Amino acid sequence: MPGTGLLALLPAPALAAATPGSVPGLVWGLPFLGMLLSIGLMPMLAERLWHRRMGLIAFGWTLGLVLPLAATAGAAAALAAVWHAVLIEYLPFVVLLVALFTTGGGILIRGGPAGRPGGNTAMLALGIVLAGIMGTTGAAMVLIHQLLRANAHRRRRLHLVIFFIVLVANVGGATTPLGDPPLYLGFLHGIPFQWPLVNLLAPLLVVALPLLGAFYLLDRRLAASEGPPPPPEKIAVTGAVNIALLGVVVATVLGQGLWRPGPVSLFGQPIGLERLVGLAVLGAVTLVSLQATPRAVRQGNLFTWEPMTEVVKLFAALFVTIIPVLGMLEAGFDGPLAPMLRLTLDVSGQPVPVAYFWLTGILSAFLDNAPTYLVFFELAGGDPARLTGDLAPVLRAISAGAVFFGGLTYIGNAPNLMVRAIASRRGVRMPGFFGYMLWSVCLLGPTLLLVSLVFFR
């Protein structure tokens, strides 16, 4: 299994650092790095093996962390670390995604302006708005089927998916705590609900408007060499029950931030009762959606479980192997990543917003953006009163970085991989990990630099 030889590579100090309560050494990040390289390289180097044995390879990297940890800190400590990651981080993440994937795939939209450059641009703009209301995953799952179906007559559709991932599955989540998990964490830590809309709308427009303009020009140029689109049809929406269920999902997510009855213990791991209730409600939403949605609706969306299965397998390994990496970040100025984190301070010890923007963003593109946001939130003091007062530029930088950079990689935000898999299922030849990054850096790089210059100098 890949990574299981890690124990032989660890020097004694690094092994000691793996014990609970201490800071992990850099070498403990190798299984996570192995996962990233597997996602990036194996589809290019061994495509058939990757698709047939993806789950086994991911499990191998997971063992590459768990076995050395059990050998150095004890089996109980290793199991406790994995159980914490699964119960507190992974299960809520996956259950929410499954609910959104199921309900979004049960809404069939036909007709409308999509399929033409102006209509496609309008759909991306609509997706940006919806992402702030129902979350990036919800908006992505509702609209990606319609966008691809309306453009089924076209040979070149890759740009549709790339822009969709960047704008709808990521950038659009900046306006409310419901839009993206980092902002929801900020809400749970005392940031007012309306703060993202007031403080992030202008940066969002600086990113979104140039990209929408670039998309329109590119789409118009490509459409000119394609056959004519089918005649426009009147918009028809089927699957009203799933629209109501999406409302239940949004209310459940918001309710977990407002209702905090206290923790309960589940196999030795404390977890908020509201989170268990949320898991039960979201599970029920998934079952109701599956039972109440006519088969023809899901067939119209070419609905399959393959995209969700891929996300479940890959993110299970990512959530476990990322444990020591987040530990290094959480150690702050006392950990192995201190030289990088000290870039957030100037010579007088004052925070530098532009450094917070780029560091939060780049790390969020490769790590889970929610805990990355929280690490920098705490690094900036963790006081919501100050972070919405005299340190508001720092919080704005952290928030914008955590949301906007998610589109740089396939793993920067959960819907990215799901949209990629859905597009591949519909015949769009999607680029590999690094091929996608070439696209995303070319698109996002100039706008992120512009945001940096305008808001965080």
Model pLDDT for residues 427-443, shown as the tens digit of each residue: 899 998 889 999 999 99
What does the pLDDT average to over 373-381?
87
Instruction: Give percent of the chain with pLDDT exceeding 90.
Output: 42
Check pLDDT > 70 for residue 238: yes
Whole-angstrom CA distances from 438 to 42, 95, 96, 297, 353 are 17, 31, 30, 35, 26
Residue type, 447: T
Contact residues for 24 (Cβ-Cβ < 8 A; gap 6+): 14, 17, 18, 324, 327, 328, 336
Closest CA to 211 of 429, 451, 32: 451
User: Helix and strand tally (H, E) in the chain?
Assistant: 22, 4
Express as a percent the part of the chain with pLDDT over 70.
95
Query: Residue 11: pLDDT above 50?
Result: no
Mean pLDDT on 295-307: 86
Say yes or no to pLDDT of 8 above 70: no
**Mean pLDDT: which of 17-26, 391-400, 408-417 is highest?**
391-400
The structural domains of the chain, with segments of one domain joined by +, span 23-455
Q: Per mean pLDDT, which range of 78-82, 196-200, 229-233, 440-444 is the poorest?
A: 229-233
**Of 229 and 241, more confident:** 241
Q: What is the mean pLDDT of the chain?
A: 87
Name the band, by pLDDT with cuts 50, 70 and 90, for residue 22.
low
Average pLDDT of the residues in 126-143? 90
Question: What is the rounded CA–CA span in Å between residue 193 and residue 8?
Answer: 49
Average pLDDT value for residue range 205-219 = 97
Per-residue pLDDT at 16 exceeds 70: no
Global pTM? 0.83
Give the tens place of pLDDT for each residue, 136-179.
988 898 899 889 988 988 889 999 999 999 999 999 999 988 88
pLDDT of amino acid 17: 37
**Residue 361 vs residue 233, higher pLDDT:** 361
Q: How confident is the model at residue 6 (pLDDT cuts 50, 70, 90)?
A: very low
- b/e burial code for range 257-276 (CB count within 10 A of at least 16 → b): beeeeeeeeeeeeebbebbb
Residue 7 reports pLDDT greater than 80: no
